[in-house]
Amino acid sequence: MDSLIESLLAYGWWVGALFIVLGFVALVKGADWLVDGASAIAKRSGISDLIIGLTVVAFGTSMPEFVVNMVSVAEGTTDLAITNILGSNIINTFVILGLTALVYPIASQKRSRDFDIPLSIIAGVLVFAFVVIHMPFGEQEQGIGRMGGIVLLLFFSYFLYNTFRHAKDHPDEMQSEETQMIEEMSTRRAICLILVGFVGLVVGGELIVKSAVDIATRCGVSEAIIGLTVVALGTSLPELATSVIAATKKNCDIALGNVIGSNIFNVFFVLGCSAVVRPLPAYEGIIIDAWMAALGSMLVWLFVKTNHEREIKRWGGAILLLIYAGYLTYRLMTL
C-alpha cells in the first residue's frame, strides 16, 4: 500500500489534499466502528456501561491521534508525531472550548476543577520541561526520550487508577450518552465492525501521514507546521463534533470533560507510547508549542475558578480564540 500511495502522490499536491480528507474520514469512521463493535461485545460479556465508558469509549476517542502517531514514528516523521499531540491539545483548548463557550457558557464539575484540569496542566508542564531541560533522565538530546515516555505512561496509569476509583464511589457522575446508547448487535456483526474499523484506522493513518509529508515537502514548509494545523485539526474532529452538539443542547459540562480528558489521554498515553517506541527529538519552535499547550489548561482552570458559577463565560471563550489567532499568526510568520 505504501508504494501505491507514493506513486499516486506524484501526480500533484491536490492528490495529497484529497488523500488527507479521505484519511480523516477513514480515521474518524474507523474509530467509531471500532468503538461500537468493541462496546457491543463488552456489553454482551456482561461488562458494565461504566467500565465500557472508562475504557473502550475513552480510548476510542483518542484513536485518531494514536494511530497517526504510531504511523508517524514508524515512518520516522517524529516532528509530525509531537505536533499532532501538541497541536490537537492546543486546538482542543483554545478553539473547541473557545467556540463552545461562545455558543453557551461551559459549566464544570467538581472533579474536573479539582483533578482533571490540574492534571492536564501537569501534562503540559511535563512536556515543556522535557523539551527545555537538556538531557532529562539521562537522555542525550533535547526532546522526549524513552525515559520521558515511561514517566508519561506512569502518570497515565495514575490517572486511570484515580478515575476508576472515583467511578466506583460516584457511578452516577461517570455515566455518558455514548454508553447509554450502546447498540445491541450480534457477535459476528460486532467483530466485523472491529475489523473494518481497524482497517479504516490503519489506512486513514497511512494516507494522512504520507500526504502531510508530501504536502510539506512540496510547499517548502516544515512537517511541524502541517502537524500543528492540518493534522491536529483533523484528529480533533471527534472532540469538535461532540462539543458543538453538547453546546447546542446546553450540556456543556460534557464538552469540558471530553476536551480535558482527551488532552490527558493525548499527552500521557499517546505521546508516552510514541516516545517509548521511538525517541522524539525537539524541532524548531517546539518550546512555544509546548508552552501554549500548558497555557491552555492553565487558562481553563483560571476561568472556572474565578466566578461563582464555575463556568467558562463567553468572554473567556473569546479570549481563548483571540490567543489562538495570535499564536497561529506568529507561528506562520516565523516559518
For the chain, the structural domain boundaries read 2-333
Share of the chain above pLDDT 70, in %: 82
Q: What is the mean pLDDT of the chain?
A: 81
Is the four-CA dihedral 41, 45, 50, 55 of positive or negative sign? negative
Q: How confident is the model at residue 137, as a pLDDT?
A: 47
Element (H, E) at 213: helix 187-219
* Rg from Cα positions in the chain: 19
| Domain 2-333 in CATH 1.20.1420.30 | yes
Which among 259, 318, 250 has a CA at the least distance from the CA of 102?
318
Q: Quick one: how far is CA 321 from the chain centroid?
A: 18
* SS3 state of residue 311: strand
User: pTM here?
Assistant: 0.84
Q: How confident is the model at residue 91, as a pLDDT?
A: 92
Angle at 89 between CA 87 and CA 90, to 5 degrees: 65
Q: pLDDT at residue 99 above 70?
A: yes
Q: What is the pLDDT of residues 7-26, one digit of tens each?
A: 656 656 667 778 888 888 88
**What is the rounded average pLDDT of the residues 98-117?**
85
Side-chain half-sphere exposure of 253, counting CA atoms within 13 A = 15
Q: What is the pLDDT of residues 136-189, one digit of tens each?
A: 444 446 778 888 899 999 999 999 888 888 777 766 655 555 545 556 677 788
Q: How confident is the model at residue 156, as a pLDDT?
A: 94
Q: pLDDT at residue 286 above 80?
A: yes
